[in-house]
Structure 1
Amino acid sequence: MNHTKQFIRLSLLTVLFGTVLTACNDFLTTPPQGQIGVAAVQNDPAAAQNLVTGVYNIMWEGSMHGFDYVGMTNIASDDADKGSSPADGANSYGTFDNLNMTPGVGNINNVWSTYFRAIARANQALGLIPQSAADQTTRNQLEGEVRFLRAYFYFKLVRFFGGVPLIENVPPVESINDIALQKRATPEAVYARIITDLRFAVTNLPIKSQTATGKATKAAAMAMLAKVYLYQKNWQQAYNLTDSIIKNQVGTYSLLPNYANIWREVGANSSESIFEVQTGINLACDAAIPIYVVSQGPRAGGKRGWADLGFGFGTPSQSLLDEYEPNDVRKAATIIFINPAPMGTVLWDGYRIPSRDSVENDRYNYKAYHSRTAEKNCGVNDRLPKNLRIMRLGEVLLIHAEAAFALGNSADALTDINKLRVRAGLPAQTTINREQIWHERRVELAMEHDRFFDLVRQESVQPGRAVQAFAAHGKTFIKGKSEVFPIPQTQIQLSGGALTQNPGY
């Protein structure tokens, strides 16, 4: 069975001006409110909040964080192989696995379109929040939340594609054919917008204890801004921001003692969590990222005869497996190993996967697993409500360590790394270098959708780094091309050629 998808192509009008905006009073339970306009926000203080919730809820969309996203992050990296059966998704996910994707691969267009639709929704909210009947402090907080989300969307886009169109408001209808709106901004201009939005968010967002669970916080904005500065090699700013989170405990954060619990329901919005995509159960059973869990679940093969858990894509690679040191508890928490007969594999909730002769692949992503029996769901496996962890304290420590080392502060870097190693059941290091920090980053954040971008970033710090890592995984990374994905051919055609293609594609 082929699980690749039919692709929806959005017109430029839809990308620039957005679709009909639906919003709700919270993440899960309130029905859609329809389109919200100026009159609504001027007369109803809750209307602006509904607009903001509508921006959060677009993060459920499949092409933002679902199956397409898995392909363009984990599968494209050296953390994972395509998985599934050899022919399944060969012309789409297989191209990510081999780094030979083309502008016509529909998954890429899906991701581009979804992120720009999210930006359009954010711009609509930002255009209306200043006119809200809410008080100024509330308006500033709502604007901070939306700016944080818009920065997140653009940070994903600039890492996927390089320079992209920079659309910062809802343009007048008469400007729909304005070529300036369709042209790509430079990566530097996109990053400048991201930084401006995140700085506003840092100033205006509350700490974790003073806002509702799942909303953007001051620490979330600080951590995301630190990550952006890490990509720009602005070590001092990355250090300062993460140092503040670590030492001042903004909103009170701490590492979870049990690493494996981070990705289980018990670990959702935990003391380690800084920002997550919120999911849950509502009447429509759609408050979840579609097929995120199922696309990566263990798949039947060989003898079959069992009700499998998914499509089997994004299987942890041998390269990743080889990275772990002996006794690192993170390995067993990250990778489902399919054991031989007679026992097979028993998961943490007691579910038994048959032995290898009944399963398609050797390994699967444990961090993507959601129990059908021990964790909540509403009976629709394609919409299992697993929160996606976007930023956590473990990554803040890694950013702090790398920035500290670059600034010559090895003592802080060593302290950060050893906090993670002790939790992982490993002996503390006595000295530290960049390779050790990058090793720790890989095994701590394995299968968390950042490895591809990390290698590209590390290549800019240490030339040859990405080329060697991908070669060890059997992939060819072409410098000057493979750092980014192709601009979707559909979008180039819709722009009348105003959008230009990335080099090598």
Structure 2
Amino acid sequence: MKKLLIIFSLVAFAGCNDDFLDVPLEDSTPAEEFFVNQEDALEATNQIYAYQRNFSLCGFPYLAIFHITSDDSDKGSNPGDAAFLNDFDKFTFDASAFSIDGYWTGQYRGINFANQVITNVPDIDMNADLKNRLLAEAKFFRGYHYFNLVRVFAGVPIYDGLPEDGNYNIPRNTKEEVYDFAIQNLTEAAEVLPVSYGATDEGRATKGAAKGILAKIALYQKDWAKVKMLTEEVMGMGYSLYPDYYELFRYQNEYNSEIIFDIQSTADSNCQASSQYGQIQGVRAQYGWGFNSPSEDLANTYEEGDVRRDASILFVGETTPEGDLITAGNDASNPPRYNQKIYVSSADFRRNNCAENSDSNIPVLRYADILLMNAEANNELGNTSAALESLNKVRERAGLEDSQTTDQSALRLEIYHERRVELALEGERFFDLVRTGRAGQVLRSKGKSFTDGVNEIFPIPANQITLSNDVLTQNPGY
């Protein structure tokens, strides 16, 4: 039978490096010849982390699905460049879209990396505590990838380890089964993962990261009591809001008190371990390709005095705090606004011989998100004072007055708004609209052709259905 996954080819290393991010991409060893000792187990787990920088996970496929579909982002660049992204802006894509296929295969390759560790590492004679931790890290990523898949496609095939018969051609599981599997993996990971690591292991998955993603799953399932419980647990782990919202996103301040989990892109002098996440969004004709342009609607939604507006959006014609004049090549066909969260100064954007800003980390989960999830859960549970306490911590950092709203419906809308402006251009907006039932109303009001009952999820890639000999079925409406 044809296989739906890219079969694992494990990267071979020349010994164990102190920096677990330094993963060379050359040469490979078949998995059956590799899992022999503790160093192999470490290197295989490190490869899961290294893979998170893959273009399918943080390049155009991710940008198309998580950003361009929302009312926070326009396609960007010039009209004819990467014109396929227009289909995501207008919701005219179909199952043949290669970005959708790329996102599917990208997530499953990450799952396959995790399954290699989960299947093979238990048989290695090595330090038991380290073994348990590495298995927990692999389970974290398996749960994380399935959460990404289920909110994009709903039900998908579950691979709990490597199939003994080699058959990857299996039907889709239900959405509920996929959520349960993700929860199982993240829960088991959270039981083992440490709260923090030493300096040489900064960036590895932690207990807070696992519980934070579990809280987000509970948010999507509207399990408010569980969201409250999990966010409170994370709130007790020592995280805090970074005082300066603008400086929060500068590469010099990576690993700060607010970052719970991010994708590691630290580069060496040869620009290994980098991604194109910043490059594809940088100011066109100056710092990158110019995609994912903040929308005018987003720019206009901030309250007066909200420092997050200027910290999130670069406007053509402005001069940055670092002294760079933003011109976008003075070309009227280029967008007038850019994502400032990925900006680095002209003095730094090619550091380590990298392409534009390609060695900056990519935030996945921040403490502000935890606070806003906690506020939303408390509001839904009728705990108004607790909801306001968490909400106002975020507002105070933004330079805004505390909310005094006590009406549950009005406060709910305030929290939705706060999520939009706090997490702008971080991939949350579209799926926040979907999970709160507002996607059709909001997106159609912004000129997008969103169809209720169809566009809340994306089509199963036509290529995957073909490869499965129609074992995979299509989502309704596609």
TM-score by length of 2: 0.93
Q: Does 1:311 align with 2:289?
A: yes
Q: Tell me if structure 2 keeps the 8 A contact 1:293–1:370.
A: no
Give the aligned residue type for 2:29: Q
Q: Tell me if structure 1 keeps the 8 A contact 2:324–2:346.
A: no
CA distance in structure 1 between the aligned counterparts of 2:415 and 2:96, rounded to whole angstroms: 37
What is the aligned residue count?
468
Deviation larger for 363-372 or 349-358: 349-358
C-alpha spacing 1:39/1:309, structure 2 compared with 1 (3 Å): closer
- Secondary structure at the aligned position of 2:292 is classed as strand
Partner of 2:260: 274
Q: From 452, 456, 464, give the equivalent of 1:483.
A: 456
CA distance in structure 2 between the aligned counterparts of 1:118 and 1:108, rounded to whole angstroms: 16
Partner of 1:207: 195
Q: Does 1:352 align with 2:341?
A: no
Q: From 333, 336, 340, give the equivalent of 2:311.
A: 333
Q: Deviations over 1:128-174 (max 9, x none)?
A: 121122232221111111111111111111111111111111113x4
Q: Report the CA distance between 1:88 and its aligned residue.
A: 1.9
Partner of 2:212: 223
Partner of 1:158: 150
Partner of 2:347: 373
Q: Deviations over 1:427-468 (max 9, x none)?
A: 111124100111111100000011111111011xxxxx2222
CA distance in structure 2 between the aligned counterparts of 1:39 and 1:80, rounded to whole angstroms: 46
CA distance in structure 2 between the aligned counterparts of 1:376 and 1:28, rounded to whole angstroms: 19
Q: Does 1:82 align with 2:75?
A: yes
Q: Does 1:186 align with 2:200?
A: no
Partner of 1:425: 399
Q: Tell me if structure 2 keeps the 8 A contact 1:296–1:365.
A: yes
Return 5+ residue gaps in structure 2 as ranges: none
Q: Report the CA distance between 1:349 and its aligned residue.
A: 2.2
CA distance in structure 2 between the aligned counterparts of 1:12 and 1:456, rounded to whole angstroms: 34
C-alpha spacing 1:191/1:22, structure 2 compared with 1 (3 Å): farther
Q: From 232, 249, 257, give the equivalent of 2:221.
A: 232
Q: Does 1:406 align with 2:380?
A: yes
CA distance in structure 2 between the aligned counterparts of 1:266 and 1:66, rounded to whole angstroms: 23
Q: Does 1:448 align with 2:426?
A: yes
CA distance in structure 1 between the aligned counterparts of 2:214 and 2:12, rounded to whole angstroms: 29
C-alpha spacing 1:167/1:331, structure 2 compared with 1 (3 Å): same
CA distance in structure 2 between the aligned counterparts of 1:380 and 1:356, rounded to whole angstroms: 21
Partner of 2:284: 299
C-alpha spacing 1:309/1:132, structure 2 compared with 1 (3 Å): same
Return 5+ residue gaps in structure 1 as ranges: 1-10, 301-307, 339-343, 460-464
Partner of 1:470: 443
Instruction: Please tell me the root mean square deviation across aligned C-alpha atoms, in Å.
Output: 2.1
Q: Report the CA distance between 1:298 and its aligned residue.
A: 1.7
CA distance in structure 1 between the aligned counterparts of 2:328 and 2:95, rounded to whole angstroms: 39
Q: How does 1:43-62 map to 2 (within 5 A)?
A: 44-62=37-55
CA distance in structure 1 between the aligned counterparts of 2:394 and 2:187, rounded to whole angstroms: 28
TM-score by length of 1: 0.88
CA distance in structure 2 between the aligned counterparts of 1:135 and 1:285, rounded to whole angstroms: 32
Partner of 1:303: none
Q: Tell me if structure 1 keeps the 8 A contact 2:242–2:258.
A: yes
- Secondary structure at the aligned position of 1:353 is classed as coil
C-alpha spacing 1:40/1:381, structure 2 compared with 1 (3 Å): closer
Q: From 1, 5, 11, give the equivalent of 1:15.
A: 5
Give the aligned residue type for 2:362: L
CA distance in structure 1 between the aligned counterparts of 2:430 and 2:129, rounded to whole angstroms: 39
Q: Report the CA distance between 1:488 and its aligned residue.
A: 1.0
Q: Report the CA distance between 1:375 and its aligned residue.
A: 6.0
Q: Report the CA distance between 1:209 and its aligned residue.
A: 4.6
- Secondary structure at the aligned position of 1:389 is classed as strand
